[in-house]
Amino acid sequence: MFEDVISFIQNTYKTKEFIPLHEPRFIGNEKKYLNECIDSTFVSSAGKFVDEFEEKIASYTGAKYAIATSNGTSALHVSLLLANVEQNDEVITQALTFVATCNAIRYCGAQPIFVDVDRDTMGLSPSALKGFLENNTTVKKQQCVNNKTGRVIKACVPMHTFGHPCRIDEIKDICNKYYIFLIEDAAESVGSFYKDKHTGNFGQVGVMSFNGNKIITAGGGGCIVTSDKRLAKKAKHLTMTAKVPHKWDFNHDMVGYNYRMPNLNAALLVAQLENLDNFIHSKRKLANMYEDFFKATDYTFVKELAECKSNYWLNSILLQNKQQRDEFLNEANSQNIMSRPIWTLMNKLPMFEYAQFDDLTNSEWLEERVVNIPSSVINMN
Ligand SMILES: *Cc1c(COP(=O)(O)O)cnc(C)c1O
pLDDT tens per residue, range 106-123: 999 999 999 999 999 999
Residue 374 has pLDDT above 80, yes or no: yes
pLDDT of residue 380: 58
CATH number for the region 30-273 comes to 3.40.640.10
- CA atoms within a 13 Å half-sphere pointing along the CA-CB vector of 183: 33
Residue 381 has pLDDT above 70, yes or no: no
pLDDT in tens, 262-305: 999 999 999 999 999 999 999 999 999 999 999 999 999 999 99
Model pTM above 0.85: yes
Question: 164 with 137: CB under 8 angstroms?
Answer: no
Longest Cα–Cα distance in the chain: 68
Residue 8 has pLDDT above 90, yes or no: yes
Is the CB of residue 211 below 6 angstroms from any atom belonging to ligand 1? yes
For the chain, counts of helices (H) and of strands (E): 12, 17
The residue whose C-alpha atom lies closest to atom 13 belonging to ligand 1 is 98
Cα of 1 to ligand 1 centre, how many Å?
34
pLDDT in tens, 315-347: 999 999 999 999 999 999 999 999 999 999 999
Best residue among 97, 117, 211 to mutate for probing ligand 1's pocket (most ligand atoms within 8 Å of CB) is 211
Q: Which residues is 112 bridged to in the sheet?
A: 91
pLDDT in tens, 47-86: 999 999 999 999 999 999 999 999 999 999 999 999 999 9
Residue 306 has pLDDT above 60, yes or no: yes
Stretch(es) of the chain classified as CATH 3.90.1150.10? 3-26+275-373
Is the CB of residue 71 below 6 angstroms from any atom belonging to ligand 1? yes
- In the chain, % of residues over pLDDT 70: 99
Span 297-314, mean pLDDT? 97
pLDDT of residue 379: 75
pLDDT of residue 170: 98
Span 150-170, mean pLDDT? 98
Q: What are the contacts of 128-137 at 24+ separation with CB within 8 A?
A: 128/358, 128/359, 128/362, 129/92, 129/156, 129/171, 129/174, 130/174, 131/358, 132/92, 132/358, 133/174, 133/178, 136/358, 137/178
Is the CB of residue 98 below 6 angstroms from any atom belonging to ligand 1? yes
The CA distance from 190 to 172, in Å, is 19
Stretch(es) of the chain classified as CATH 3.40.640.10? 30-273
pLDDT of residue 1: 80
What is 3-26+275-373's CATH number, 2.40.10.10, 3.40.50.720, 3.90.1150.10, 3.30.230.10? 3.90.1150.10
